[in-house]
Amino acid sequence: MPKKLRSPEKIIINGRPLFDIIKDHSLFIESYGKYGTRADLQAADLQMTNIYGADLQGANLSKADLQGADLRETNLQGVDLMGVNLREADLQGTNLREANLQGSKLQGAKLQGANLQRAKLQGADLLRANLLGADFSEADLREANLKGANLQKADLWRANLLGSNLSKAGLQGAYLLEANFQGTDIREANLEGANLKNANLLDTNLQDTNLQEANLQGAKLPETNLQGAYLQGACLKAINLRGADLQRIVFENCDLRLTDLRYSDLRFAKLNSANITGCKLYGAATDNWEIKGIKCDYIFFDEEGKNRYPKDRDFEEGEFELYHSPIPIVEYIFKDGITPLDPFIMDYIAFKLGSENPEYDISLISFEKLGPYPKAKFSVKSEEYIQPAEKDIDKEYQHFEKIENKIDLLSGYLKQVINKPRKLYIKEVKQLTVKAEHVEIHIQNIINNITEIQQIIDKAPKKSFIEKRKEDVQAIIRNAIATLAVTHGPAALSAATSAAKSVIDTVQYLGPELLKQIAPYIDALKTAAGF
């Protein structure tokens, strides 16, 4: 049950009823000081007091205790309320324009529709305060605590929130144009439909924040943490996300036109039906991104972001998606380790499954040992075939495990592979056909070209692409060379082909400038592997 408010007629301050003090102060304000007396309420105990509609502009309220007071529609314009206790006070519709509320205690206060234009709220505690529709335009909210506050439809135009805490706050439909959020904690806040146009979000923590349908056009977002943020339908037009960590973020139906995404990490990000026309994508990591129905007329793949691609036309509908969608991958993990025969067995399984299930369009693309267990990677035509292919691969491999005469079973396929004509790349650019007895030269040539690619990447300046991508590529190259160094006999041919395919598939993400340098070696690798 709510506590009963105290009547101003019954509260005596300095020998006078509060009601008379307020009345005299109102007369003082209206007569510009000619009549009445300025109210002196310094350090007054006004807890749970009914001061509804009073004109206290210019009153002395320093160190007063206004906890739980009814201050609705009260005029407190320009009043010094520094450090004042306003916990759970009702300030709905109150005029606090240019008031000094630095360090004030406003936890749980009701400020719906209050006017706080240009108010000083530095370090104020507004924990779980109700600020629905309040006007904070050009207010100073530096280091303020707004955790869990209700700021729905609030006006924070050009407000300074540097270093403030807005985590778990409700900002749906808030007007945040040109506001300064630098260094602000906005984790798990709800900014659905908020207008953040040209806002400063530098070094802001937006982790797990709901930005659905929000307008972020022109906002400054470098070094911003957007992990887990939900941006479906948001406008991110012409913003700078260069180098941003955007892994697993939902950008579905977003307007990303003209956005700078150079060196950004878009792995596992969802960009389905987003518009990325005019984006700068040089050096962006796009492994496993989702781009179903993506809209793109043209893109910039060069480091400077000046060379339009395609140069003389627009992408046709679905063309960008067709060429830049990730290849669905099936991984088979060898928990008991691998033998020199396993790469050959896996290549045979891919051949067998491809013949029996042509709809899979399955290929063995690599062997890796980047984690605790070795793994074989297969590509399939689409995601719908990942699970059935995974089951079939496991079934076939388990079948091999039980067969004693593995070599006899594989001999027919082995002869087909060994006798298949292979092309050899030599540095004098001679193309030769290699017979089965010369297979060791073919393998050495693959190693030579992979090593050349590795050296070019090592020499490339850091700015050429994301360092994470460089590490991934180099790890795969090292693994390929290490596999070939210890694999002998017929299995070496399959291992060499898999190593070449793995390197070719991986280096495509290094950016166009670096790809241009390694292009001759990629072509040679394809030739040497018979692709």
Angle between helices 490-507 and 439-459 (to 10 degrees): 30
DSSP string, 83-119: T-B-TT-B-TT-B-TT-B-TT-B-TT-B-TT-B-TT-
How high does pLDDT run on average in the chain? Answer: 84
Does 437 fall in a domain? yes
Does 375 fall in a domain? yes
Does 314 fall in a domain? no
Q: What strands, in cross-sheet order, belong to the sheet with 375-379?
A: 329-333, 375-379, 363-368
Q: How far apart are CA 188 and CA 228, in angstroms?
A: 9
Does 149 fall in a domain? no
pLDDT exceeding 70 applies to what percent of the chain? 81
Q: Strand 422-425 vs strand 12-13: parallel, antiparallel, or unpaired?
A: unpaired
CB atoms within 10 A of CB 401: 10
- pLDDT tens per residue across span 261-282: 998 889 889 999 999 999 999 8
Task: Name the least confident of 131-145, 165-179, 410-424, 429-443.
Answer: 429-443
| Residue 365: predicted pLDDT | 80
Task: Name the least confident of 141-155, 228-242, 348-362.
Answer: 348-362
Alpha carbon of residue 350 to chain centroid: 36
Write the CA distances from 161 to 154, 291, 446, integer angstroms. Answer: 14, 35, 58
Q: Are 63 and 82 in contact (CB under 8 A)?
A: no
Structural domain total, the chain: 1
Q: How confident is the model at residue 407 (pLDDT cuts 50, 70, 90)?
A: low
Identify the domain containing residue 345 by its residue range: 329-529
Task: Specify burial of residue 422 (Cβ count, 10 A radius: 0-12, 13-18, 19+).
Answer: buried
Q: Is the pLDDT of residue 372 over 90?
A: no
Does 342 fall in a domain? yes
| Residue 277: predicted pLDDT | 97
| Residue 427: predicted pLDDT | 27
Give the number of residues written for the chain.
Answer: 531
Q: What is the mean pLDDT of residues 344-354?
A: 85
Q: Is the pLDDT of residue 254 over 50?
A: yes
Q: Is the pLDDT of residue 2 over 90?
A: no
Q: How far apart are CA 155 and CA 179, in angstroms?
A: 10
- pTM confidence score: 0.67
Q: What is the mean pLDDT of residues 409-422?
A: 52
| Residue 436: predicted pLDDT | 33
Q: How many distinct helices (H) and strands (E) make up the chain?
A: 9, 9
Does 435 fall in a domain? yes
Q: How confident is the model at residue 493 (pLDDT cuts 50, 70, 90)?
A: low
Structure-block tokens of residue 106: 């406003």
Task: Name the least confident of 22-31, 46-55, 86-95, 416-425.
Answer: 416-425
CA dihedral 254, 260, 265, 271 (to 10 degrees): 20
| Residue 345: predicted pLDDT | 83
Q: Is the pLDDT of residue 1 over 50?
A: no
Q: Is the pLDDT of residue 405 over 70?
A: no
| Residue 508: predicted pLDDT | 66
| Residue 328: predicted pLDDT | 83
| Residue 444: predicted pLDDT | 66
More confidently predicted of 455 and 215: 215
| Residue 522: predicted pLDDT | 78
Does 115 fall in a domain? no
Does 490 fall in a domain? yes
| Residue 446: predicted pLDDT | 74
Q: Is the pLDDT of residue 111 over 80?
A: yes
More confidently predicted of 10 and 490: 10
More confidently predicted of 464 and 9: 9
Q: Strand 363-368 vs strand 329-333: parallel, antiparallel, or unpaired?
A: unpaired
- pLDDT tens per residue across span 26-79: 999 999 999 999 999 999 999 999 999 999 999 999 999 999 999 999 999 999
Task: Specify burial of residue 372 (Cβ count, 10 A radius: 0-12, 13-18, 19+).
Answer: exposed
Q: How confident is the model at residue 437 (pLDDT cuts 50, 70, 90)?
A: very low
Q: Is the pLDDT of residue 501 over 60?
A: yes
Q: Is the pLDDT of residue 283 over 70?
A: yes
Q: How confident is the model at residue 443 (pLDDT cuts 50, 70, 90)?
A: low
Q: How far apart are CA 136 and CA 119, in angstroms?
A: 7
CB atoms within 10 A of CB 332: 20
* 478, β-bridge pairs: none
Q: Measured over all CA atoms, what is the biggest interatomic distance in the chain, rounded to whole angstroms?
A: 114
Structure-block tokens of residue 407: 């070599």
Q: What is the mean pLDDT of residues 122-136?
A: 97
- Report helix, strand and coil shares of the chain as percent, to nearest 5: 30, 15, 55
| Residue 521: predicted pLDDT | 78
| Residue 464: predicted pLDDT | 43
Q: Is the pLDDT of residue 490 over 50?
A: no
User: Which of 259-263, 418-422, 526-530 is the most confident on average?
Assistant: 259-263
| Residue 434: predicted pLDDT | 31
Contacts of 411 (CB under 8 A, 6+ apart): none
| Residue 72: predicted pLDDT | 97
Handedness of CA 465, 469, 471, 473 (dihedral sign): negative
| Residue 141: predicted pLDDT | 98
Q: Is the pLDDT of residue 433 over 50?
A: no
| Residue 483: predicted pLDDT | 58
Q: How confident is the model at residue 404 (pLDDT cuts 50, 70, 90)?
A: low
More confidently predicted of 289 and 155: 155
Contacts of 502 (CB under 8 A, 6+ apart): 365, 366, 367, 368, 377, 476, 479, 480
Q: Strand 422-425 vs strand 431-434: parallel, antiparallel, or unpaired?
A: antiparallel
| Residue 439: predicted pLDDT | 36
- pLDDT tens per residue across span 200-249: 998 899 999 999 999 999 998 877 788 889 999 999 999 988 888 888 89
